Each structure stands twice: as structure tokens, then as C-alpha cells.
Amino acid sequence: MPHVLSQQQIDRYHADGYLIVEGVLDDVMRQRMKNVLAELVEKSRAVASHDDIYDLEPGHSGGDPRVRRIKKPHEVDPVFKDFMYTPKLVGILQDLLGESVRLHGSKLNLKAPHFGSPVEWHQDWAFYPHTNDDILAVGVMLDDTTVENGAMYVIPGTHKGPTYDHHGPDGHFCGAMDPDICGVDFSKAVPCEGPAGSVSFHHVRTIHGSAQNTSNKSRGLLLYEMTAADAYPLMAVGKTDWQAFEQRLICGEETIVPRVVDTPIRMPLPPAKNQGSIYENQTAGKRYFGFVEEGGKKTATT
């Protein structure tokens, strides 16, 4: 018996490679998150360049703080950790991934009104291949989310297709598909819209991306990458910090027996020249969502 979802929702996730569920994050916890976020943006005034917590938009300054991403929010404030263990979320994860689930990583992408950066088309699988692909990203909508304020788009069914090349012209990984040569029909993309508190779940192989925020409303998307506990990361072979790995078990049983499934894999190697975040990685690739020059710096736009 499923824990939270209906069998129809579970079947739809497996058929389309994504699912949106409303009302997973309650308003009290969401407000706590928004308050923490406002404080973090305020504190970023003292930060001049990307660091372990902040990924900054081009044009960021002490007088005009522009934060693009909070890195590893579950390590930055307990509210982002607490949410991972809320019964409704855990039940949905078990319905989609099986009884034992591990956190791979987290991030909080902010899209401020008017300038919030786009994210180019990609598959998360290209960044972190594992021994099996029972892996998904949880996208928690901290604001009412629409196309206008930069909703993430997914292309249904692409989780059953190939793993695309995410390398740039120089042969290095760049974390983005080349929109001109990949042959994907981007007109099939659908936006993950929903009222604040809704959560999208997209399969690790589903192609997705998002445009610039052109509205006057902010869009916060809190992302958790969750894996079946028996999916082992290929890039970490031989250098797994076991204690940290074990501590990321969200529910169920630990295992040291990886389940190995034949899936299309490309390693993200040689590594991206521009390190730090997907935004930095993608500056080396071609754009679908575009670029403008602002204050002598390149920034992305639709």
C-alpha cells in the first residue's frame, strides 16, 4: 500500500518522469524558511564573491545584494533539515523510491524579481551518475510559482530516453545540453507551477531547465536530491566519507550492497572548468535561454 500518494499519482510519476503535489510544506514552516532566507540575503551584503554558502548573481554588491543560490541549506539552518523528515514528504519519497531513502545533496535557488538567472536544459543524471537511477529531485515551491516568475520546466517522458552530452566545445563537462545539436523538442516542455507549499518531484534523468524571472515577484525553489539508499554514487567510489554518507539516510535501512542497473551513463569528466555551481558550469556552454551584458559582466536572460 502506498504511504501518501494514490497509485494513479505513482503511475503518473513513472510514466512522465515528474509529479507535482500541492500542500506538502505547511505555511508555518514555509514562513520560517522565508525568514531565514531573508536573513541570509541580508548577511550576503558582507560577502564579495561565491563561498561555501552563497552563489551570487552577477552585479551583486553590499548595497544591492543579489543571491542566486544558498548551497547545502540543510547544513545552513535546521529548518531546511527538519523539513526532510516531515511524515508527508518521507511517505511520498518512499512511494516513489522505495522504503530506504538517502539525501544526496540540497540547494536553494532564488530567482529575484527581474534578474533571477535561468538554468539551461540539463539532466541531473549527467552531474551525479549512480549505480541505479531510482533518484529524484524534490522541488519545494517557497512562493506561488508560475511561468512569469521563472517556474522550472520539465520535458515529460525524457527520463526513459538517452543521457545527453553535457560537455562544451572544449571537451570539458559544462552541465548543459547543446540546444542546437541535441535534437530535443523543447516545445514539449511543461512548467512546474503551483501555489506556495507545492512540491515537484522530477526523475534524475528528466530533462529540465528554467527561464529568467521577468516578473516583479520572487521565486524560491528549495531542492533536495534524494536517492534510493542502494543507489551508490559512481563519482565517489573509493572516497566516500562513510560517516557523512550514513548520516544522510532519511528513512529505512542502511546498505553496503549497491543495486546495479544497466542505465545510460556519461561521466561528468573531464570536470567543468568553471566550478562552484551549475550556473558557473553552464557559462562554458551554448545557451537556449540567452545572455545579456550587464555592467561588463555576462548574465543570462531569456
Ligand X SMILES: O=C(O)CCC(=O)C(=O)O
Least separation, in Å, of the C-beta of 141 and ligand X?
Answer: 10
Residue with Cβ nearer ligand X (102 or 202):
202
Q: Please give the DSSP secondary-structure letter assigned to residue 116.
A: P
Run of H or E residues at 21: strand 18-21
Ramachandran region, residue 241 (left: φ > 0; alpha: ψ -120 to 50; beta: rest): beta
Q: If binding is defined by CB under 6 A, does position 119 make contact with ligand X?
A: yes
The sign of the CA dihedral 291, 292, 293, 295 is negative
Least separation, in Å, of the C-beta of 262 and ligand X?
Answer: 25
Q: Which of 222, 240, 250, 202 shows the shortest CA–CA distance to 102?
A: 250
Measured in whole angstroms, how far is the alpha carbon of residue 285 from the centre of its chain?
Answer: 19
Residue with Cβ nearer ligand X (60 or 208):
208
Binds ligand X (CB under 6 A): choice among 94, 100, 106, 109: 109
Q: If binding is defined by CB under 6 A, does position 210 make contact with ligand X?
A: yes
Binds ligand X (CB under 6 A): choice among 56, 221, 251, 272: 221
Q: Please give the DSSP secondary-structure letter assigned to residue 200.
A: E
Near ligand X in 245-284, by CB under 6 A: 278
Residue with Cβ nearer ligand X (92 or 142):
142
List the x/- string, 120-159, binding to ligand X by CB under 6 A: --------------------------------x-------
d(C-alpha 210, C-alpha 12), whole Å: 22
Q: Which amino acid is at 31?
A: Q
User: Could you list the residues that contact ligand X (CB under 6 A)?
Assistant: 107, 109, 119, 152, 208, 210, 221, 278
